[in-house]
Homo-oligomer: A and B are copies of this chain.
Amino acid sequence: MSTNNKTNRQKDMSFIEKARRAQIIECAIETIVEVGYAQASLGKIAKRANISKGVISYHFLNKEELLEQVVIEYYLACHSFVYPQIEVLTSPKDMLQKYIEAHLTFADKNRKHVFAVMEIVSNGRTSDGKLKFATDHDENIFQPIEDILRLGMREGAFWEFSAKSARVIALTIRQSIDGFSIELMRNPQINVKEYIQELVTIFDKATRK
């Protein structure tokens, strides 16, 4: 199992190994934020970390693995932050509200990391040109919102939209969350609390009976 694999692998890593990888990942994130995905070379990442390029190759199989690690770390951290807050809730309305609030809070607290992940996810392609993270995204990102929407519909908490409606609403919510991260980069002094409140209101109105 891949999760298990991962755990074992990390267990097997020495403290120094983990620290170096963390440092490199951190510098990769900062480099991507600063110069953008296309210009973020291993050389620039190494320079930022004050290490030689070879060190990155020593700790990561290749550039791909490094960037994947940035993405994976985000998925895990984001999931760990968001889902405990949702699972304790019972009302779909509250769950949707918390979903938005938690994701925006996470994006706010991890601005660079989240922005870097979006750069990687939207630019990372396989050698045949296809977007690498497209399917993962689909399954792991949209599904949970749709689940909440469907639950709410069954319980009569939302207006009676169709399955297709649910999908579009889910997409729109996700886009507004990702869009928030972008807006945060362009406009760092945003009042986050207010933004959250606005977004919650918008989707409360959009879904309520």
Interface of A with B (CB < 8 Å)?
A: 34-39, 122-123, 125, 129, 131, 134, 138, 159, 161, 164-165, 168-169, 171-172, 174-176, 178-179, 182-183, 185-186, 191, 194-195, 198-199, 201-203, 205-208
Which residues of B sit under 8 angstroms from A164, Cβ to Cβ? 191, 194, 198
Q: How many copies does the complex hold?
A: 4
Are A168's CB and B202's CB within 8 A? Answer: yes
Which residues of B sit under 8 angstroms from A39, Cβ to Cβ? 125, 129
Within the complex, the shortest CB–CB distance from A172 to chain B, in Å, comes to: 5
Tell which of B36, B159, B194, B199 touches A172, judged by Cβ atoms closer than 8 Å.
Answer: B199
Query: How far is it, in angstroms, between the C-alpha of A134 and the C-alpha of B183 when the chains are bound?
Result: 10
Which residues of B sit under 8 angstroms from A34, Cβ to Cβ? 129
Are B172's CB and A176's CB within 8 A? Answer: yes
List 4 A-B pairs, minimum CB-CB distance, nearest first. Answer: A175-B179, A168-B198, A38-B38, A175-B175
